[in-house]
Chains A and B, each alone.
Chain A
Amino acid sequence: MQMPVPNPAILARKAQIVRRLQSVLPADAVVHDPADTRAYECDALVAYRCAPLCAVLPRTTAEVSAVLRICHEEGVPVVPRGAGTSLAGGALPTADCVLLGVARMNGLLEVDYPNRFVRVQAGRTNLSVTGAVEAQGFFYAPDPSSQLACAIAGNIAMNSGGAHCLKYGVTTNNLLGVTLVQMDGTVLEIGGGFLDAPGLDLLGVICGSEGQLGVVTEATLRILPKPEGARPVLIGFDANEVAGQCVSDIIRSGVLPVAIEFMDRPCIEATEAFAHAGYPDCEALLIVEVEGSPAEIDEQLARIIAVARRHNPVEIRESRSEAESARIWLGRKSAFGAMGNINDYLCLDGVIPVSDLGLVLRRIGEMSREYGLDVANVFHAGDGNLHPLILYDANKPGDLELCEEFGAAILKLCVEVGGCLTGEHGVGVEKRDLMGVQFSDVDMEAQLRLKDVFDPRWLMNPAKVFPLVLTAGRRAA
C-alpha cells in the first residue's frame, strides 16, 4: 500500500516543532524520542506501520486547540488517535505527522438522568460510559466488540456499530453533541442536550468522518434505560441460503430482535475446537436475541421459533437461563480468538441487502476455492453486515497480497449486489483504494468539498479514506 512521501522540510524541522509543542503542553505530554514514538506506529491493522514525527497527549480542549494551531502554522499533518483499535488503519501515522492521542482526555463531565444524556471527554472508553450510568439502570447503546478498549473519539470517527445496532442504531443515532477542534485551532460546539441540532446537520457530517474534519474532544451521548432482560435462541440449518432466508422472514414477521448473528460451518468448527460451546453440527447457525420482561421474551422467541420451523432447522435451542444464554453466546464471542488460533486472518466488513445473503455466501465459497484460501463467516445478519475472515499465513511470501486481493473481490461483490464496502470499521487506509468501486469521481468530489470546508489545507489525517490520486492536488496545495 502506497503512502505519500514524507515532507523532508518537516522532518528537518522536528526539533523546532517539538519545542513549540512543548511550549503549550506539560513536559510529559510530548513524546518525541524515536524509542517512544514507536508505540504509536500502528493501530489494530498491524500489517502497516510507521512511527510519527512525534506524539502529543493533551488533556483539555484548550490544549488540543493550541497544538492544532501550531501544526497549522507549521504546515504539519495531524493524525488523531483514540485508543488505536481501528481495523482499517484509521490512525496510521505518516513519518512527518504529529500524532494527537486523546487517551488522557477521559473525564466524565456531566450525567443527566432526567434528560437521559452524558457528556464525556472523547478519550473515554466506550464501556466505561455504560459503567458510569449502569447503577442507575442506564446504558450507552453502541457496543463495538472492542468496547472494553476503544475510545468514544474513535467510535465517533468511524461511526461504530456493534452487535445490538439492529435495534438501537449506530453511533450517529446516539450522538447528541460534540466539541470539535478544527485544524486551525477553531473550537466548534455542535448540538448538546437536545434531540435535534439547529441548522445544517453538522453533527451527522462529523460522525463517521474518520478524523478528516477535526479532532473531537468532548461528546454528548444519549443514554437509554436498560431492558428488563434478554435471552437468545440458537437455530441450526443445513444450508447457508436457508439460514439467510430465515433472517429475512424473521424481520418480516414484525419481531425486532436486538441481534441476529450468523456463523457458517468453518466458523462453527473452529469455535467448537477452541471454546467447546457445544454448538450443533450444521452448515449455518443463527443466534437471535430479544429483550423485555420474561413473558415478553417468551412471546417474541415463540414467534421467531415459529418462523424458523418453516425452514426445517437442524436444531432449535432456546435459552431458559443466564447460564444457557452464556453458553449460546460463548462460541460467537470467541469466534475471532478461535480463528486467530488457527491462522492469521483478514477481517472484512462489507454490507449487503439481507435478501442477498444466500447468493453472496455461495459466491464467497466459490471464490475461496479459486483463491485457495479458507474463509469463515461470522456476522450481524439482521442488517446484512458481513465479516468474512480470510485465513492466510503471514510468513508465507505473497500470501498477504493474495488475501488482500481476495478481500477486495469480496467487497466488490458486496457493492455489485447493492451494498457497500464498510458497515462499521471505516475506510481508513485499508479500503481507500476501493472507494472508486462504490463511488464515481463526482460522488467523491462532493465529499472532498466537505473536507475543504473544515480543513482547507488538507492537513487532518492524511492519506486516509480517499484514493491518493484524487487528493494529490489538494494535499500539495
Chain B
Amino acid sequence: MKPATEAEVVECLAAASGPLRIVGGGTRGIGGTRGEVLETGGLAGISLYEPGALTLVAGAGTPLAEVEAVLARAGQRLAFEVPDFRALLGRRGVSTLGGVVAANASGPRRVQAGACRDALIGVRFVDGAGLVVKNGGRVMKNVTGLDLVKLMAGSWGTLGVLTEVAFKLLPVPEASVTLRLPGLDDARAVAALAAALGTPYEVTGAAHWPGQGTYLRLEGFSGSVDYRAGRLAEVLAGFGAAERVDGVARWQAIRDVTAFAGCAGDVWRLSVKPSDAPGLVARSGAQAVLYDWGGGLVWLLMPEGADLRAALGGFSGHATLVRAAAETHARLATFQPEAPPVAAITAALRARFDPRGILNPGLM
C-alpha cells in the first residue's frame, strides 16, 4: 500500500485486516517486524518553508535529500545532522522525513544542537484506530497540552503513521574547523572530549575513532571559529598537539558509521555516560568501536550472534542491536529490555494508540 494523502492512510488502516509494516524509504529500519508493507513515500511535499521564522512543514514521505537541497539554497539546515545508514545496513532507497523522525535519527551535532526530537515542533499522524491526530504546530515554543510530538519521535511507527512533520531549522555556519588529536587511548580520548565539551567554545562534534584519531569540530563565523580553535588547542595541550584537518568527509564517515559497512559482524549502538564508555568497551568483546557524542554514543562491531548486554552485565544506559541476522534480532531483542514498571507504561501506550496491535508488531 502506498497512500498519497492522509485520507488514504486512514482508509488503509481501516481496511487493514492484519499487521502492517510501516516504511518510509526503507533506509534505516532496524529489527524484525512483519505484515503488509505500508509505504509513506506518497505523502511528499514541502507545504511551508519560512526562512525568516526558521520553520519547515512537510509531508512525512518527503525525501530528506529534497528538503536538504531546498534549505541549503537559503543557507539553512536541519541542525541535528541526519545520518545516512544505507551503506552500514546494506540498503538502497530514498530516506524520508517521516523515517528520520520515527528513528529519531541524530548525528554528531547532537551534543550541541540537540537530537531530531529537539528540532521537531509538530506532527500529524494516523493512529492504529484510524484517527487523525495533530500535536504541536509550526512555532518554536509551544507548551499547549500534552507533548505527543516527542512521543512520536523515535517510536518507530508503533503508535501511528506519521503524515506530516514540522521542524525548527538553523542557519548553516559560515565556517567549520576540525581538530585532530593523534594517538590517544580510549580513556584519554574520552577525557579529552570531556575537557573540550566543558569549555565555552561550543564544540559541535566530539568523536574518537581508535587508530584514526580524536576529533573535535567548531562551527560559526570564520574569525570566531579561528579564535576558538586556537583556544581549544591550548586547553587540550596536555593531550598532545591538535592539528587542523579537513573535516567534511571525516564527520560524514563518523555520522554514517561507514567504518563498519560491509564488515562481517553485528553492529550495536550503546548509549551511556561518556566516562563509563571506555570501561564498558573493554569488557564488550567488540572487534572495533567508534565513539561519538563525546563518548556517550558508542558504535560496536561485535562477533556475529554475541550478546553485548550479557557481556556488559549491569550498566547505566542502553544497548540497541542495529545490524544482525534475523535469528539474532529475535533471540536478543533489538531494543534494551525495559524495567517492569516502564515496560508496563510502554505496553499500555501501544495498546491505547494501536488497539488492534497492527502497527509494526514485534518491533520495540
Contact = CB atoms under 8 A, between A and B. Distances in A.
B194 A115 contact: yes
Given A201-B150, A205-B150, A353-B138, A193 B273 contact: yes
Interface in A246-272: 248-249, 251-256
Given A209-B146, A355-B53, A450-B148, A384 B223 contact: no
A228 B200 contact: yes
Contacts of B273: 112, 115, 192-194
A192 B104 CA distance: 18
A300 B198 CA distance: 23
Contact of B142 (A113, A423, A440): A423
A471 interface: no
Contact of B53 (A248, A254, A465): A248
Interface in B44-76: 50-55, 75
A454 B104 CA distance: 23
B345 interface: yes
Given A114-B194, A195-B297, A225-B200, A354 B52 contact: yes
A335 B196 CA distance: 39
A384 to B, nearest CB: 6
A200 B364 contact: yes
A209 B135 contact: no
A57 B135 CA distance: 35
A466 B146 CA distance: 10
A427 B144 contact: yes
A336 to B, nearest CB: 19
B262 interface: no
A23 B221 CA distance: 62
B147 A418 contact: no
A114 to B, nearest CB: 4
Interface in A442-460: 442-447, 449-454
Contact of B104 (A169, A201, A225): A201
A425 interface: yes
Contacts of B159: 200
A249 B52 contact: yes
Interface string B145-166: 1111111011100010000000
Contacts of B327: none
Interface size class of B (residues with CB under 8 A): 35 or more
A292 B142 contact: no
B223 A209 contact: no
B211 interface: no
B117 A204 contact: yes
Interface string A143-178: 000000000000000110100010001101100000
B143 A424 contact: yes
A116 B139 contact: no
A159 B143 CA distance: 7
Contacts of A76: none
A423 B137 CA distance: 11
Given A199-B342, A200-B151, A384-B53, A208 B139 contact: no
Given A196-B271, A254-B173, A300 B221 contact: yes
Interface string B335-357: 11011011001101100110000
B151 A450 contact: yes
Contacts of B316: 192-194
Q: Quick one: which of B224, B320, B353 has the most chain A CB within 10 A?
A: B224
A249 B171 CA distance: 12
Contact of B271 (A198, A200, A227, A299): A198
Interface string B246-283: 00000000000000000000000001111100000000
A183 B347 CA distance: 18
A387 to B, nearest CB: 12
Contacts of A293: 224, 227
B336 A204 contact: no
Contact of A208 (B138, B143, B297): B143
Contact of B141 (A204, A295, A384): A384
Interface string B178-209: 00000000000001001001111000000000
B115 A161 contact: no
Secondary structure at chain A's binding surface: helix, strand, loop or mixed?
loop
A187 B339 CA distance: 11
Given A192-B316, A248-B52, A114 B138 contact: no
A207 interface: yes
Interface size class of A (residues with CB under 8 A): 35 or more
A422 interface: yes
B143 A201 contact: no
Contact of A204 (B110, B131, B133, B151): B151
A252 B133 CA distance: 32
A200 B132 contact: no
B92 interface: no
A438 B142 CA distance: 11
Contacts of A465: 145-146
Given A227-B200, A442-B133, A452-B352, A198 B335 contact: yes
B200 A296 contact: no
A419 B154 CA distance: 25
Interface string A198-219: 1111111101110010000000
A251 B117 CA distance: 22
B134 A165 contact: no
A439 interface: yes
A183 to B, nearest CB: 13
16 contacts: A114-B275, A115-B274, A189-B342, A195-B115, A196-B106, A196-B115, A196-B154, A201-B155, A251-B52, A255-B171, A351-B141, A384-B141, A439-B144, A443-B133, A447-B146, A452-B352
Interface of B: 50-55, 75, 104, 106, 110-111, 114-115, 117-118, 127, 131-135, 137-151, 153-155, 159, 170-174, 191, 194, 197-200, 220-221, 223-224, 227, 271-275, 293, 296-297, 316-318, 320, 335-336, 338-339, 341-342, 345-346, 348-349, 352-353, 364
Interface of A: 112-116, 137-138, 158-159, 161, 165, 169-170, 172-173, 182, 186-190, 192-205, 207-209, 212, 225-228, 248-249, 251-256, 292-293, 295-296, 299-300, 303, 351-355, 380, 383-385, 418-427, 431, 435, 438-440, 442-447, 449-454, 465-466
Given A225-B199, A353-B50, 15 more contacts: A192-B317, A194-B273, A194-B316, A199-B335, A199-B342, A248-B53, A299-B221, A352-B139, A354-B53, A419-B137, A424-B141, A435-B145, A443-B145, A447-B135, A452-B352
